[in-house]
Structure 1
Amino acid sequence: MISKQPGFRYGTLGALMLVVAGCTAIPKPEAPPPSQQPQPVAPAPTPAPLPTPAGSWEDRAVDRGAWRYDAGSRTAAFVPTGSGNPLLSMTCSGSGIRMTSALSGNVSLRTSAGTDQIRFDGGSASLPNRDPRLDRIAFSRGRFALETSGGGALTLPVQSEIGRVIEDCR
């Protein structure tokens, strides 16, 4: 005798579906993945020469190019259009950010929050990962500039890759 009540039919159908769903094959354990060998770290490419600034940093056009982020090396690099060598790279190294460029000596960092100084020795500067200058770069309105007393300058767009490398390092 079959009941004509819809609840009985749906309840029976639901129980039947659960029984069928429980009849799945048990997966066999896979072999452990082979141990990965550490990848050698490639040396940083030689930075491109710096352009000479023209006008106030806020009025200058940003340098043509794009930010690229490499999750493996935790590096954000600004690569100019038509070149393979970055103008500026920001790499998380331990508890700090290493900035690499063709800059040298005391460099003025200009952001929408104001002007700071960064010391570049041999083409690189190291900042602690909680340095407020990093936040000023990441949150600057549209652009930031690095200027040397010798006349070289970078005017770069602010994009998410900068914040990503900073956050990865914190």
Structure 2
Amino acid sequence: LHADLLVKEAFDEYRIASNNADKIAVKLETATLYRVLRGLVGSEATHVEVKLIKRVIREGLSLPFLNFASTGLVDITQDVPLGGPLNKRELEDLEHIVQANVVNVPYWLNLDRQATEGAHQAAERFKAVGPRTELATTKAGSLHLATAKGGSVTLGT
């Protein structure tokens, strides 16, 4: 999973520091991250603070976590366990892979919250039809969702 975030769009305040040109890459279970993010939406969080932290598991052993602390109807703190952070060489290798895969992309898909939720709901419904779901866009702005068994739908133009 690779995500480029528009800092000013996603965060009120943003601070990052690392030995790798202020870049941090980690390994994590996407299902766990998805569960936490879904919980934040479900709790109608009005403010979320995300921190990269180390927790002491037992004496002499501390492990990294991505900590989400939210306020809203209910104040919730959740941790996502991490493998990493990646070292400088691993980070450079990852950057090369990402750059190699986006060289010929003439445009980026930026979905607002409503479009993202619509795409997610449609993808959830298609799970019953097939094990693989593909999301594609056109230069004209159409968003298409298709499954391995041939079902398809246009979500917007």
Higher helix share: 2
TM-score for the superposition, normalised by structure 2 = 0.22
Q: Which gives a bigger RCO, structure 1 or 2 (Cα 8 Å, sep 6+)?
A: 1
TM-score for the superposition, normalised by structure 1 = 0.21
